[in-house]
């Protein structure tokens, strides 16, 4: 086992709610991410799945250092990112890039495609000042993601959603990163376009040995793209396993419910419908956070929080009464 | 380790060069120029006939006032008492004469040299200050932003006209003081426009994307946010210019602005007050000019608002 490229330990993000201009004390606390640990090896894709509001995007932002964690540790290539000097931060930014969910919001409407794709190179690349080389690199990148380099001088509004997402991917690739955080990169796109973008992402991964942190709520997409999958519920990972094992034999009742909702289309088993809403992250249930909606819940679940423990060699689930 | 660009492989450079050559060949063929925002704006604005007509009108007014000394048939204070209060179309006096027997057309031309800059310069200065304040307040919403906006809220509490009159009253009459009071009165309003736009733009993902590339706050504010907040500011600034021309004239009308005998549209309107029943043209003609100029600014502002809307561009 080599050292993982990215290692996240007990990562937490709590947002104070309320508290105004003069009062310093917040009225409540929102636990968006509540102690999350995972690692990503070189060339590997980790799928991070969960319903909206479960903290998966917040986790992605913390990995990108766009948000400061409340607690926990993020290490990239064995180096704690919190302790990085400006120089190392610059290196980190070059190593880790991001593709955003909304292809409309993620491209500045006032900039040309060449300016957008060239921005990371101009800011992080050693050759940012060499205009001719920058231009060549931009054309090469556009070509790489399947766009016509002829369109480099156009503005984002002249492209479709799928093309815009390709521009976003070209921007992320510009400085040759090793790890790309993909925050729901296809959920804003049509189904046919989704497939194209996913194929593009797989091709790029193979070609450049990229690692992906793939954040999504769409299990079909996750299954297709991920090597390993971590399922998040209310700020915590409840199950983590290699994709194949997780989809074949989920151990956590929540994962089981998620999967049954997807697979029911095939006419297999009846979907397992979860009762109620996802609880507020401002009032997380005691013990197991899933117990309020869990069909297998017992008194013990309200008292002791289950740890994320191995159920098989590489399969971990946080449940007192796992599905066998 | 940090060299993102150094380790080009030969094949990659070749690929880049090939792509560039293909691009240049194609670019030559269809001779497509990058479409600048200004060009797109112009194309959209051209379609709006009313706004274009207003812009042309304002341009003519501006040129006429600039070249007043050459265009005006008389001197601004040249009086012919025998013809006082004569109506428009009097021989040699197209728009008639005022109470002191001065040619109204001449004074209108000269008056624009006071009435237009006294309104437009403060709008420009206030916009500049407000853009900076609004960007900072909208970007750093907590802390600095909160302080800026709360201080401006105090100004909001006063009715605009009252505040301007108070400021002009304290500072005393005069062109500089009128301009200063307009600047102070306008800043809270324009700042709020910039602040709101900045708040919206700062939430966009492309700001996060720039941050992920290690862009500094200053760079993000000026190169990512600023170009996206300029549209509402330009529209607001243009629209308010018309209002400020009337407002500055109003201060002069009240005796707080420019002092007679200097020609100014506000003073001219005021001077006809006493003779309104016998010679209504003395007041109404400068009043109509004020109205038309204000209206034209508004129409240009509306036209710009439509032209700057990205949904209407393609």
Residues B19 and B131 in one domain: no
Sheet holding A71-76, edge to edge: A28-40, A6-17, A71-76, A79-80
Residues B30 and B165 in one domain: no
Report the residue of B3, B9, B16, B36 to disrupt the A interface, i.e. the one with the largest count of A CBs within 10 Å. Answer: B16
Strand A71-76 relative to strand A79-80: parallel, antiparallel, unpaired?
antiparallel
Residues B65 and B29 in one domain: no
Q: Per residue in A28-69, pLDDT tens?
A: 888 899 889 999 999 999 999 988 888 899 999 999 999 999
Q: Show contacts of A283-286: CB within 8 Å, 24+ apart.
A: A284/A31, A284/A34, A284/A234, A284/A235
Residue B159: pLDDT over 60: yes
Out of A93, A102, A140, name the one closest to residue B214 (CB).
A93
- Nearest 5°: the CA angle A136, A142, A148 is 105
- Residue B246 within any structural domain of the chain: yes
- Residue B295 within any structural domain of the chain: yes
Answer whether A106 sits within 8 Å of B209, measured CB to CB.
Answer: yes
- Classify A39 as helix, strand or coil: strand
- Classify A170 as helix, strand or coil: helix
CA distance, residue B3 to nearest chain A CA (Å)? 6
Residues B28 and B164 in one domain: no
- Residue B171 within any structural domain of the chain: yes
Residues B17 and B87 in one domain: no
pLDDT at A133: 84
Q: pLDDT band at B256, cuts 50/70/90?
A: confident
CA Rg, chain B, in Å?
26
Report the residue of B4, B223, B229, B308 to disrupt the A interface, i.e. the one with the largest count of A CBs within 10 Å. Answer: B4
- Residue B2 within any structural domain of the chain: no
Q: How many domains is chain B built from?
A: 2
- ω into A151 cis (within 30 of 0): no
Partners of residue A105 in chain B, C-beta under 8 Å: 204-206
Token output for B271? 């001077």
CA distance, residue B248 to nearest chain A CA (Å)? 36
What average pLDDT does the structure give for chain B? 84
- Classify B16 as helix, strand or coil: helix
CA distance, residue B190 to nearest chain A CA (Å)? 22
Q: pTM of whole model > 0.95?
A: no
Residues B15 and B94 in one domain: no
pLDDT at A107: 93
Residue B119: pLDDT over 60: yes
Closest Cα to residue B165, out of B252, B265, B267, B263? B252
Angle, helices B144-156 vs B175-202, to 10°: value is: 130
Residues B247 and B122 in one domain: yes
Residue A323: pLDDT over 70: yes
Token output for A14? 């709590």
Partners of residue B2 in chain A, C-beta under 8 Å: 87, 90-91, 94, 126
Answer whether A100 sits within 8 Å of B208, measured CB to CB.
Answer: yes
Residues B80 and B118 in one domain: yes
Dihedral, A303, A305, A310, A312 alpha carbons, nearest 10: 50
Residues B27 and B123 in one domain: no
Distance CA B308, CA B44 (A): 8
Token output for B260? 């007679």
Q: Per residue in A261-286, pLDDT tens?
A: 775 555 556 667 777 778 888 888 88
Distance CA B222, CA B228 (A): 10
Residue B30: pLDDT over 50: no
Q: pLDDT band at B2, cuts 50/70/90?
A: very low
Residues B114 and B85 in one domain: yes
Check: CB of residue A239 under 8 Å from CB of residue A318.
yes
pLDDT at A306: 87
pLDDT at B102: 87
Distance CA A102, CA A165 (A): 8
CA distance, residue A247 to nearest chain B CA (Å)? 32
Q: Which domain holds residue B15?
A: 9-36
Q: Per residue in A195-206, pLDDT tens?
A: 999 999 999 999
Residue A324: pLDDT over 80: no
Residues B228 and B96 in one domain: yes
- Nearest 5°: the CA angle B150, B153, B154 is 100
Which CATH number belongs to the domain containing residue B266 in this structure? 1.10.3720.10
- Residue B227 within any structural domain of the chain: yes
Residue B196: pLDDT over 90: yes
Check: CB of residue B254 under 8 Å from CB of residue B168.
no
Distance CA B254, CA B165 (A): 9
Answer whether A128 sits within 8 Å of B5, measured CB to CB.
Answer: yes
Residue B32: pLDDT over 70: no
Least confident window among A176-180, A229-233, B124-128, B271-275: B271-275
Identify the helix (H) or strand (E) that includes residue A232. strand A228-233
- Residue B202's φ and ψ, nearest 5 degrees, are -60, -25
Check: CB of residue B72 under 8 Å from CB of residue B92.
no
- Residue B1 within any structural domain of the chain: no
CA Rg, chain A, in Å?
21
- The residue in chain A having the minimum alpha-carbon distance to the alpha carbon of residue B147 is A21
Q: Which residues, including other chains, have CB under 8 Å from residue A175's CB and lie 6 or more apart?
A: A93, A94, A97, A120, A121, A124, A125, B4, B213
Residue B51: pLDDT over 80: yes
Angle, helices B104-139 vs B144-156, to 10°: value is: 140
A292-307 burial by CB neighbour count: b if 16+ within 10 A, else e? Answer: bbbebbeeebeeebbe
Closest Cα to residue A176, out of A202, A135, A140, A147? A140
pLDDT at A212: 95
Distance CA B163, CA B158 (A): 6
- The residue in chain A having the minimum alpha-carbon distance to the alpha carbon of residue B3 is A126
The sign of the CA dihedral A137, A143, A146, A149 is positive
Pick the CATH number of A39-65+86-226 from 3.40.1790.10, 3.40.50.720, 3.30.1300.10, 3.40.50.300: 3.40.50.300
Q: Which residues, including other chains, have CB under 8 Å from residue A25's CB and lie 6 or more apart?
A: A19
Distance CA A298, CA A275 (A): 16
Q: Where in chain A is the domain with CATH 3.40.50.300?
A: 39-65+86-226
Closest Cα to residue A94, out of A167, A6, A183, A174? A174
Q: B255 exposed, middle or buried (CB, 10 Å; 0-12, 13-18, 19+)?
A: middle
Residues B221 and B308 in one domain: yes
Out of A64, A66, A94, name the one closest to residue B4 (CB).
A94
- Residue A212's Cβ-side half-sphere holds a number of Cα atoms within 13 Å equal to 28
């Amino acid at each position: 086992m080599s050292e993982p490229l990215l290692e996240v330990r007990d990562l937490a993000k709590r947002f104070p709610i309320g508290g105004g201009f003069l009062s310093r004390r917040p009225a409540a606390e929102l636990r968006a991410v509540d102690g999350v640990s995972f690692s990503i090896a070189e060339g590997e894709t980790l799928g991070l799945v969960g319903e909206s509001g479960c903290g998966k995007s917040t986790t992605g932002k913390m990995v990108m250092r766009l948000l400061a964690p409340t607690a926990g540790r993020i290490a990239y290539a064995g180096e704690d990112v919190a302790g990085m000097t400006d120089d190392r931060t610059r290196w980190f930014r070059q190593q880790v890039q991001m593709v955003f969910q909304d292809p409309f919001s993620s491209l500045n409407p006032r900039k040309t495609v060449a300016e957008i794709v060239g921005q990371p190179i101009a800011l992080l690349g050693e050759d940012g000042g060499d205009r001719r080389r920058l231009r060549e690199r931009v054309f090469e990148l556009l070509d790489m993601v399947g766009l016509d380099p002829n369109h480099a001088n156009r503005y984002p509004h002249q492209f479709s959603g799928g093309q815009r997402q390709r521009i976003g991917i070209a921007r992320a690739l510009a400085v040759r990163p090793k790890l790309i955080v993909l925050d729901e990169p296809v959920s804003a796109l049509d189904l046919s376009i989704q497939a194209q973008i996913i194929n593009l992402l797989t091709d790029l991964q193979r070609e450049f040995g990229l690692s992906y942190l793939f954040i999504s709520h769409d299990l079909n997409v996750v299954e297709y793209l991920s090597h390993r999958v971590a399922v998040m519920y209310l700020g915590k990972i409840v199950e983590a396993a290699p994709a194949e094992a997780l989809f074949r034999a989920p151990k956590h009742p929540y994962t089981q419910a998620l999967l049954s909702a997807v697979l029911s289309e095939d006419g297999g088993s009846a979907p397992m419908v979860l009762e109620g809403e996802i609880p507020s992250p401002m009032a997380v249930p005691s013990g197991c956070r899933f117990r309020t909606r869990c069909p297998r819940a017992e008194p013990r679940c309200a008292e002791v929080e289950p740890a994320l423990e191995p159920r098989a060699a590489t399969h971990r689930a946080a449940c007192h009464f796992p599905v066998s | 380790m940090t060299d993102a660009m150094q380790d080009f492989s030969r094949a990659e450079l070749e690929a880049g060069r090939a792509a560039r050559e293909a691009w240049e060949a194609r670019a030559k063929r269809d001779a497509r120029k990058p479409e600048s925002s200004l060009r797109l704006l112009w194309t959209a604005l051209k379609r709006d006939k009313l706004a274009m007509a207003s812009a042309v009108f304002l341009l003519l007014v501006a040129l006429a006032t600039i070249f007043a000394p050459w265009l005006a048939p008389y001197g601004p204070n040249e009086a012919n008492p025998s013809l006082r209060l004569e109506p428009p179309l009097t021989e040699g006096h197209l728009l008639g004469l005022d109470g002191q027997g001065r040619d109204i057309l001449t004074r209108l031309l000269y008056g624009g040299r006071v009435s237009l800059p006294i309104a437009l310069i403060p709008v420009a200065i206030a916009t500049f200050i407000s853009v900076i304040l609004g960007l900072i307040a909208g970007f750093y919403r907590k802390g600095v932003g909160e302080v800026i906006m709360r201080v401006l809220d105090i100004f909001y509490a006063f009715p605009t006209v009252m505040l301007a009159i108070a400021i002009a009253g304290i500072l005393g009459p005069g062109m500089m003081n009128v301009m200063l009071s307009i600047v102070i009165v306008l800043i809270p309003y324009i700042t709020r426009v910039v602040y709101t736009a900045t708040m919206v733009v700062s939430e966009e993902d492309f700001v996060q994307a720039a941050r992920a590339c290690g862009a500094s706050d200053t760079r993000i504010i000026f190169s990512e946010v600023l170009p996206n907040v300029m549209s509402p500011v330009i529209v607001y600034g243009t629209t308010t210019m018309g209002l400020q021309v009337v407002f500055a004239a109003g201060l002069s009308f009240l005796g707080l602005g420019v002092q007679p005998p200097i020609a100014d549209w506000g003073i001219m309107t005021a001077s006809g007050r006493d003779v309104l029943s016998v010679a209504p043209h003395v007041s109404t003609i400068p009043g109509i000019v004020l109205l038309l100029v204000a209206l034209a600014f508004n129409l240009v502002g509306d036209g710009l608002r439509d032209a700057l809307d990205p949904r209407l561009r393609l």
